[in-house]
Amino acid sequence: MTQRTSQGTVVLAAVMIGAALTATAACTANEAPTRQWKPGQQGEQHAHGAHGGPDAPRPFTLVASGDVLPHSSIIDKANADAGGDGYDFVPMLSGVKPVVSKADLAICHMETVYGEKGDYTGYPSFKSPPEIAHALKVTGYDACSTASNHTLDDGAAGVRRTLRALDKAGVRHAGSGRTAAEGASPAWLHAGGAKVAQLAYTYGTNDNPLPEGKPWTVNLIERERIVADARAARKAGADVVLVSVHWGTEWQDAPDRQQLSLGKQLTASRTNGRPDIDLILGTHAHIPQAYEKVNGTWVIYGMGDQIAGDMINDDDANDPRGNQGTIGRFTFEPPASPGARWQVKKAEFIPQWFNTATGRVTNLNAALSRGADVSAVRDRIRQVVLSRGAEKDGLRMGQ
């Protein structure tokens, strides 16, 4: 569950990933059925990113960031930034725009659904102003994962409003759907001559039931399904397959047993010797978690919150970690031979922090270069990110 802010609502307990994730055997090429998308279906209609269509193979950079979680205080700040007339989230994200906009592809995580006509709420059932979608686009994001424990906070209507606003803004999305075809389809993007598919899943929906007759409204984490979807995306032409997962235990720096188990299983899955998944992007814990190279594939267990109000942890205390996060940046290079894997030749993390006093996302290294006293926060994030030995596999802190 998403934690309350310091405004006084009751903290909800973290929910464990379902029993479907407890299997320990790695997938083989014959363990899961293959699902297929035909050209012209929902996913294929999104077959280009904001940075252009297919071109000659060349290295490309991809950045990804954590939970966008607008509590009531965030909504109020966006209203103030709009001069009291509407909502402007662009200034909140301006501090990371230089990093995000320079990447060839940029992936965000939209944790909440959107309301309408001023019906906007924070914790515990979120309905956010749709103006957020415009701000994400202006910042440089190409696609968002939309599968989270809050995807069904306003039922199917909330999903429809959210995806409509993202479509209008030109931000692709994966993890929820208005139709069966859309719910089953990845977000399709292009960069560096590579066709990129983003898939997204969540551990649960805070006990909100799936809309009757619409099980495709949000994608739930099931190992066999994720593998089948990844293989189907590959069969549909994906050169790079990204999997966004809303998982883990809130307020826990270290990845939990389910994260470690599922990460190993998914990264071990191969077809004809080629990994089915090329990068795993984790959200939900509210705080930064480790990066790790598992079976030759990078896994970010948790990127932390990108936007959130002052957070209250499980001990009912204000916890500044809830406003800390990272941006992952990965440079992919073309395969050495046709049909081989696009390899990550450079892996970086960029520590970030949401300053609730100013309502701004801060690139901590950029702030340090300007003389801000944020080294303790930056160094704590670095320690957590590198806690599972990622530095020996080449992970570096970026600017």
Q: Which amino acid is at 27?
A: C
Task: Say if CB 288 and CB 381 are below 8 A apart.
Answer: yes
Please state, in angstroms and as integers, the Cα–Cα distance from residue 271 to each residue in 194, 247, 267, 278, following that order. Answer: 19, 25, 12, 13
* Superfamily name and number for 27-397: Metallo-dependent phosphatases (3.60.21.10)
Bridge partners of residue 316, in order along the sequence:
none
Q: What is the pLDDT of residue 201?
A: 98
pLDDT in tens, the chain (399 residues): 555 555 433 333 333 333 333 333 333 333 333 333 433 333 433 333 344 445 579 999 999 999 999 999 999 999 999 999 999 999 999 999 999 999 999 999 999 999 999 999 999 999 999 999 999 999 999 999 999 999 999 999 999 999 999 999 999 999 999 999 999 999 999 999 999 999 999 999 999 999 999 999 999 999 999 999 999 999 999 999 999 999 999 999 999 999 999 999 999 999 999 999 999 999 999 999 999 999 999 999 999 999 999 999 999 999 999 999 999 999 999 998 988 999 999 999 999 999 999 999 999 999 999 999 999 999 999 999 999 999 999 999 999
Q: What is the pLDDT of residue 126?
A: 98
Domain ranges of the chain: 27-397
Does the pTM surpass 0.85? The reply is: yes
Which residue, chain included where needed, has tokens 């006293």?
373
Asked if the peptide bond before residue 124 counts as cis, ω within 30 degrees of 0, the response is: yes
| pLDDT the model gives residue 35 | 38
What is the pLDDT, as a whole number, of residue 339?
A: 86
Q: Which residues contact 174 (CB under 8 A, 6 or more apart)?
A: 143, 144, 145, 146, 147, 185, 186, 187, 198, 199, 200, 244
- Cα torsion at 279, 284, 286, 291 (round to 10°)? -20
Using DSSP's 3-state secondary structure scheme, residue 156 falls into helix
